[in-house]
Amino acid sequence: MNRIALITGATAGIGEATARLLGKNGYDLIITGRRKERLDRLKNELEEKTPTKVLPLTFDVRRRDEAEKALGSLPEKWQAIDVLVNNAGLAAGLSKLHEGDIDDWEQMIDTNVKGLLYVSRIILPGMVERRRGHVINISSTAGKEVYANGNVYCATKFAVDALNKAMRLELVDYGVKVTSVNPGFTETEFSLVRFKGDKEKAKQPYVGMEPLHAEDIAEVILFVLSRPDHVNINEIIVTPKAQANAFYIHREKEE
């Protein structure tokens, strides 16, 4: 029987790449996101090309009622979730705190922190009961160091870092592993979402440097999951070669 991985935010970027890679590597998948047609397309593609079975669930992680409805009454075959990848998240805006857009703040806090909590609160009791499981929380270099104008996004990722540590402390007695994966600049839809569809602005972070690709992070996640049972990787920070920390990037000048 394949192991079951639940990946939130699998309609794009890191979550989608992770679904593809885990699907190829013997996992059945529960994939979630708000964009149903993308989830359905991914299900069809993966089931056609790989031996994986896929259950798509369309809901907004900010809506506790939607999360409970979708995840709280899973078909029996899908209930024993082995792996939870808490990935759904976003940055909205990039501005000084005293000029910030409060709606952006609400969206980031509600998605990155409260959404992760809602999903975890539903899934973790089953892992505790079965005395096995692995939670992978996608935080960020922004959860390790604050950068200028990142204020609230950074705060949400510092919160994910704290929750990751709390989960590890509270789940270790039940044999459940907890890992945080902290990517640096990764070219996905992240920047387009942050800059609200402005393609020119979205390209700026990657000028003169090669960012990570979503697949690079998916490979790290597979590595974390494929360690022997007695090994846990507590946290891992992955950046592009050109990124030294959350805010120092080496950029090649165009000739």
Give the amino acid at 84. Answer: L
Among the options 27, 147, 153, 248, which is catalytic? 153
Binding site for ligand 8X3 (CB under 6 A): 91, 140-142, 150, 153, 185, 246
Q: Helix crossing, 214-225 with 13-24: angle to 10°? A: 50
Q: Between residues 171 and 214, which has the closer beta carbon with respect to ligand NDP? A: 214
- Judged by the rule CB under 6 A, the positions of this chain that interact with ligand NDP are 9-15, 33-35, 60-62, 87-90, 111, 115, 138, 140, 183, 185-186, 188-190, 193, 214
User: In this structure, which amino acid lies at residue 223?
Assistant: F
User: Please, which residues have CB within 8 angstroms of residue 58's CB and are 6 or more apart in sequence?
Assistant: 32, 33, 34, 35, 36, 39, 70
CB closer to ligand 8X3 out of 171 and 212: 212
Residue 240 binds which of ligand NDP, ligand 8X3, none (CB < 5-8 A, kind-dependent):
none
Rg of the chain over CA atoms, in angstroms? Answer: 18
* Residue 62 interaction partner, one of ligand 8X3, ligand NDP, none, beta carbon < 5-8 Å per kind: ligand NDP
Compute the distance between CA of residue 109 and CA of residue 116 in angstroms, rounded to an integer. Answer: 10
Nearest distance from C-beta of residue 255 to ligand NDP, angstroms: 27
CA dihedral 26, 83, 237, 241 (to 10 degrees): 30
User: How far is Cα of residue 1 from the mean position of the Cα atoms in its chain?
Assistant: 25
137's contact among ligand NDP, ligand 8X3, none, with CB below 5 to 8 A by partner kind, is none
Do 17 and 218 meet the contact criterion of CB atoms below 8 Å apart? yes
Closer residue to ligand 8X3 (CB): 80 or 146: 146
153 counts as catalytic: yes
Which positions are annotated as active-site residues? 153
